Amino acid sequence: MNLPPAAQPRQPLFLARELGILAFDRRVFAQAADKDMPLLERLRFLCIMSSNLDEFFEIRVAELKERIKFGEEVSGPDEPRAAEVFSLVSAEAHALVEDQYRLLNEDILPALAAEGIHFLLEADWTRDQRAWLHEYFVNEMIPVLTPIGLDPSHPFPRVLNKSLNFAVQLEGRDAFGRNSGIAIVQAPRLLPRVIRIPEQAHASGAGSGQSHFVLLTSVLQAFVSDLFEGMNILGSYPFRVTRNSDLWLDEEEIKDLRSALQGELPQRHFGASVRLEIAEECPREMQEFLLAQFELAANDLYRVNGPVNLVRLMQIPDLVDRPDLKFPPFVPGLPRPLDEQADVFGAIRKGDILLHHPFESFTPVLDFLEQAAEDPDVVAIKQTVYRTGTDSVLMKYLIDAAKRGKEVTVVVELLARFDEEANLAWAARLEEVGAHVVYGVVGYKTHAKMLLVVRREHGKLRRYVHLSTGNYHPRTAKLYTDFGLFTANEKICEDVAESFKQLTGLGRARTLNHLWMSPFSLHDQLMAAIRREAANAAEGKPARIIAKMNSLVERQLIEALYEASKAGVRIDLIVRGMCTLRPGIPGLSENIRVRSIIGRFLEHHRIYYFAADGQDDVYIASADWMERNMFRRIEACVPLLDKKLKARVIREGLKPYLADTTAWEMDSNGNFSRHRTRGKRRSAQDELLAMLAAGTAQPPHES
């Protein structure tokens, strides 16, 4: 690609994706720091950030370390070296963690205490509370704890990924005359990390209207001497190690993907160490000892002023009945065609139906599958499953349909990261009732969201389809923004049927009528659409690109966007997470604006808009603009053919986000800033709630 001279000096074309992920976490942190947010939601955002960091280390930092170890310093031309990226990542991650605990200790915990929600340290316990906690320790904890004194016959134990552990410094000799000085206590995952003290454990009247919590860490540190009778406890220090959790399967050697995965999953808990978190008070010699055990360097160490696992505090908002400290509840709405007719098939026959989650209910998708399972005229159901949860009613409907003798085919993606075990379990249950279960294509994750129902009507077979930007997961459908499309359009249904044939059978890819599918046509079609806009701009025709997605890192698409920008195409990119494109560079990308929306709901829908010389082409898709989505995944992208639904997607999925005054704007160096305007505050998510939800309670404060 030929670059203008102004763009060449010291400015690579692409930013480091790892720094883009941390920039996203910084924006999540800003939500936790925002005093206009409900207090318990601020705590939740802080926990979400901590969970994000866990996965970042498990996958991205682990990959960086592997690249450095094996000399693969550069992943592509015009990108920074892995060692340089790791150094920048380490500095930013340490700063994020320091800010995270400062916010927790100096702001959120005192604010919670002022609202009667207390996290008690040992020094704060009353005599009654201490007695109750000691009884809890003796009855609930000691029976499942296994202290390991380190000596030649008791080497340092294998430590599970992200598990809570304690390094205990001891003095004295035990019953066998041993004096190793160090013991390790591992806290089993079955033990709750947050313990609520019941009312009766408080002094008279002291607990009325208040919530008191104690962390498991505090309880074990307070009573650890009960585990080492007769020994002198010099200190007890919690620690947590994060490990490489990416699964590796040799595709050329795999004969049975399910069996191979079952064999590989247990090893995920014991991958190479990538991060060590320890309590701030841990002495230097213990710190060095633990680093040596996990073969980690000093910059892999994170000293924290508080619990080593903040994710465990995520349950607090659900344990505390304080609606005034949470987002106001709402009742999802229903599109008029489904609100007026209980028969989903009848409603779809009248015309395409669009669902906008979570503002509109996910229930019609469940109704569609339930009716398909019970309807004697339905002869076949085919569905892709990427993430659906461990207790999915949707999967139960598929099982029921198979029991009723219908042809049920389910493409289960076994390699959906961190959902592998749940998907293995569902695959087994489906096979038990005679459903056809396939695991997609080795080497390509099945990420497309497709549901096909075949029904006999008036002596002929008719197809009905649901396509979505999000997973078939009833819980996340309440938390993620996504579009879902019901259609009986014959050409689209034919495309979906052909896609299932490719997934389950053998044969060459056929040209489809409307769908763009990865890895066959999606990338080429997107490149062609971007180039058409550039050509139209060069000819003075209307030219515009708007794309909304989770991540933007695919090099060829970014280069095409640069060329379109130089041709004069106005480009707006709404990217929730990482973005390696550099906007606003004169002569290269000055016509590109990148913004990010972080709010109550996780922005998840993928929408592609092209002006198309006044035609307004609009697509919804399962794919982000990443190399993996374009070339190593099976993805589906569907056009909105109905003019009213096309207008709806523009009106609901794009315009509010471009007008959102709470959005973050990205500069050419990858930095994000939020430009507060003096005018009326506009939030896309708030506007969509008001527009689509059936009912919303008023917020507890002025928004």
For residue 208, CA distances in Å to 116, 137, 181, 212 come to 9, 24, 44, 10
CA–CA separation, 88 and 514 (whole Å): 44
Mean pLDDT of the chain: 89
**Which of residues 252 and 692 earns the better pLDDT score?**
692
DSSP 3-state assignment of 611? coil
CA–CA separation, 516 and 569 (whole Å): 23
CA–CA separation, 335 and 477 (whole Å): 16
Q: What is the pLDDT of residues 488-547, one digit of tens each?
A: 999 999 999 999 999 888 778 889 999 999 999 999 999 999 999 999 999 999 999 999
Map out the domains of the chain as residue ranges: 17-325, 331-514, 517-696
Nearest to 389 by CA among 451, 448, 476: 476
User: 555 CB contacts (<8 Å, ≥6 apart)?
Assistant: 14, 76, 627
When mean pLDDT is compared across 298-307, 368-377, 410-419, the lowest value belongs to 410-419
User: 199 CB contacts (<8 Å, ≥6 apart)?
Assistant: 207, 208
When mean pLDDT is compared across 101-115, 499-513, 607-621, 642-656, the lowest value belongs to 499-513
- Percent share of the chain, pLDDT over 90: 74
579, 552 Cβ separation under 8 angstroms: yes
pLDDT at 691 over 90: yes
Half-sphere exposure of 331 (CA within 13 A, CB side): 4
CATH homologous superfamily of 517-696: Endonuclease Chain A (3.30.870.10)
Band of residue 93 on the pLDDT scale cut at 50, 70, 90: very high
- Residue 356 bears catalytic tag: no
CA–CA separation, 569 and 574 (whole Å): 16
Tokens of 305: 């002023």
Q: What is the mean predicted confidence (pLDDT) over 174-200?
A: 82
Per-residue confidence (pLDDT) for residue 166, from 0 to 100: 95
Per-residue confidence (pLDDT) for residue 78, from 0 to 100: 64
620, 640 Cβ separation under 8 angstroms: yes
Q: What is the mean predicted confidence (pLDDT) over 104-113?
A: 97
Q: Which CATH number fits domain 17-325: 3.40.50.150, 3.60.15.10, 3.30.1840.10, 1.10.10.10?
A: 3.30.1840.10
Nearest to 516 by CA among 532, 503, 528: 528
Tokens 């160096």 found at: 669
Nearest to 149 by CA among 269, 231, 240, 237: 231
**Which of residues 592 and 675 earns the better pLDDT score?**
592
317, 301 Cβ separation under 8 angstroms: no
Per-residue confidence (pLDDT) for residue 153, from 0 to 100: 62
Tokens of 602: 């996780």
Given the DSSP bridges, would you call strands 148-149 and 165-171 parallel, antiparallel or unpaired?
unpaired
**Residue 436: how many CB atoms within 10 A of its CB?**
15
Q: What is the mean predicted confidence (pLDDT) over 93-103?
A: 97
**Residue 206: how many CB atoms within 10 A of its CB?**
13
Comparing 17-325 with 517-696, is the CATH topology the same? no
pLDDT at 41 over 90: yes
Assign 3-state DSSP to the chain and report helix, strand, coil percentages, each to 5: 40, 20, 35
204, 128 Cβ separation under 8 angstroms: no
Nearest to 448 by CA among 527, 509, 522: 522
pLDDT at 17 over 60: yes
Among candidate residues 447, 473, 604, 605, the one labeled active-site is 447
Q: What is the mean predicted confidence (pLDDT) over 428-455?
A: 90
425: enclosing H helix or E strand? helix 420-432
Whole-model pTM? 0.90
245, 59 Cβ separation under 8 angstroms: yes
What phi and psi values does residue 406 have, to the nearest 5 degrees? -80, 155
CATH homologous superfamily of 331-514: Endonuclease Chain A (3.30.870.10)
**Residue 31: how many CB atoms within 10 A of its CB?**
18
Per-residue confidence (pLDDT) for residue 250, from 0 to 100: 47
